[in-house]
Structure 1
Amino acid sequence: MADVPTLGFLRDQLRRARKTRGLSQEDLSKMINYAPSSISAIETGQNQLSADYLARFDKVLETGGLFVGMLELIRLHAEPDWFRPWGEIEREAVSLRWYDPAVVPGLLQTETYARAILRADALLTDEQVEKRLLARMARQEVLARDEPPQLIAILDEQALRRQVGDRATMHEQLEHLLAACARPHIQVRVIPAETPWYIGLNGPFVLARLADGTEVAHLDNQRRGHTVDSPNDLAALGRGWETVAGEALPHRQSARLIEGVAKSWT
């Protein structure tokens, strides 16, 4: 673990490689089609590093994929040890049923919303926040692949109305949810705020189905999550899913509710 580069180290090496070749940020911007202000923000840590940026950087500076590889190494070690088994399942799943009463599910979070959530944990350093953010954004790539999993996400209306970050962050996040609703493999359903107490409020969970029919679940608590696959646990969570699905509005009606709440954040 001590040999894993930090994001700060990666940014320093990007800046050093650019300067070693005698390139200003303006010179580099013309070569990789990124605005000079974006390059500055990436090098100073104001903007997140992306695989696209590093791939372009590697190509024009002919580094042999060095920086993309460095980013992948950081990503590999960014997730907590306890999360990695679930991360593999998430990548292999053909369907995901995700319920969360408190926040937007991680696969549907914007970068600014996710950063605000992670920064709320006072035990995480800035470096840890950025690494976990990097890993969370990378996880979302599963929804953009050629054969993505079917995702049904159910959340409580309070998750749409409880402010995370500033108002602009909330508006952006809800607009992002609306865009997700329009994708054929994604459904977002909302349980209205006036719904009386229901069993799902006990906590979030995710049910994954793999190509061979195997089902696995993931549960979160205050400090960590854990993966479960015992028949009794899966049966109980299956019943829990039926309960929350029964309380949720249909897909299109949920989209109209999200749209209305999004306007309230402008």
Structure 2
Amino acid sequence: MAEAGETAESLAEKVRVDPKTAARWLAAGRIPHSRTRVAVAQVLRRDAADLWPEPFRRRDLPWFRQWAELEQDAVSIRSYQPLLVPGLLQTEGYARAVLGTGGLLPPSEVDLIVASRLERQAVLGRAAPPQFVAVIDEVVLRRLVGDRAVMSGQLAHLAAVAEWEHVQVRVIPAENPWHTGLAGPFVLGRLPDGTELAYLDNQLRGQVVTDPVDIANLGRRWESVAGEALPQRLSIELIREVATTWT
């Protein structure tokens, strides 16, 4: 705070909390809520994991930890994936096959990331889960990942989870022409206070997006890709139909 020229009062004003709350963060063991950690880190121009390392001692890749924290607080999550099943819906076999492809990660690291991914999925099974909507392209159902048994199990799991009241899985048919979503995957999350965030990733790393202009842009893209997708019931029927081709 001193290096950034901030006091507890000025920091509290910028992140919209009570000054007494900001002052308590100076004490050992006092850790802000995850969404507040993000805001404080931006004001102080530091990495949130440097300021409060304890919550980030997870098995995720370092650049993913911030989103993994925010994901657990979200009241709604909207995920568009053109090439893969979203991580929150992956089976262990599918996740292991994706991460192990090409031998780019050592087996021990694959084990850790798979375990963390499965732990994250508990958010969908808790007492008050977020509303989760996934839009995927049909190619996700038809491209071989791992082996046929992996695909059969993954699609069976996808169809079953799509029946949950708080989960939607919608599929964009393969015959649809080029659409805006094919420019790349993205995830939108909404926190309890209405704050909207997004997550983008590429071949090297991912990033949390907080800029309102960028969030609005991604919101328009979400409306566009969601408009290309089949309704929920027809999507489940298509998933089950493709699943039979993998048995």
> Same fold, TM exceeding 0.5?
yes
* Structure 2 SS opposite 1:151: strand
- Count of residue pairs brought into register by the alignment: 193
> What is residue 182 of structure 1 aligned with on the other side?
163
Q: Which residue of 2 aligns with 1:213?
A: 194
Letter in 2 for 1:207: L
The answer for the alignment partner of 1:111 in structure 2 is: 92
Secondary structure at the aligned position of 2:165 is classed as coil
* Higher-helix-fraction structure: 1
Within 5 Å, give how 1:3-82 maps onto structure 2.
76-82=57-63
Name the residue aligned to 2:75. Answer: 94
Give the AA of the match of 2:83.
A
Deviations 1:154-212 (A, max 9, x none): 00000000000000100100000011011000000000000101110011000000000
Mean Cα deviation higher: 110-119 or 122-131: 122-131
Describe the shift of the 1:103–1:113 C-alpha distance in structure 2 as closer, same or farther (beyond 3 A).
Answer: same
Give 1:83's match in structure 2, choosing from 57, 60, 64: 64
Please tell me whether the aligned partners of residues 81 and 137 of structure 2 are also in contact (alpha carbons under 8 angstroms). yes
Structure 1 residue 149 corresponds to structure 2 residue 130 = yes
Q: Normalising by the residue count of structure 2, what TM-score does the alignment of the two structures yield? A: 0.76
Other-structure match for 1:228: 209
Secondary structure of the residue aligned to 2:58 is helix
Q: CA deviation at 1:121?
A: 4.7
Q: Displacement, 1:123?
A: 2.4
Tell me, what secondary structure is at the counterpart of 2:164? coil
- Structure 2 Cα separation of the partners of residues 138 and 207 of structure 1: 20
Identify unmatched segments of 5+ residues in structure 2.
1-53
Secondary structure of the residue that 2:132 maps to in structure 1?
strand
For the residues of structure 1 that align with 2:61 and 2:93, how far apart are their CA atoms?
21
Instruction: Tell me: CA distance 1:198–1:184, structure 2 relative to 1, closer, same or farther (3 Å).
Output: same
What SS does structure 1 have at the residue aligned with 2:128?
A: coil
* Percent identity over paired residues: 56
Q: Residue 154 and residue 96 in structure 1: after superposition, are their counterparts in 2 closer, same or farther (change >3 A)?
A: same
Q: Does 1:137 align with 2:112?
A: no
Q: Which runs of 4+ in 1 moved over 6 A?
A: none
Aligned match of 2:149 = 168
Aligned equivalent of 1:249: 230
Looking at structure 2, the residues matched to 230 and 134 of structure 1 have their Cα atoms a distance apart, in angstroms, of 31
Pick aligned residue for 1:238 from 211, 214, 219: 219
Q: 1:144 to 1:96 in 2, by over 3 A?
A: same
Task: State the AA in 1 paired with 2:171.
Answer: V
How far 1:122 moved relative to its partner? 2.7
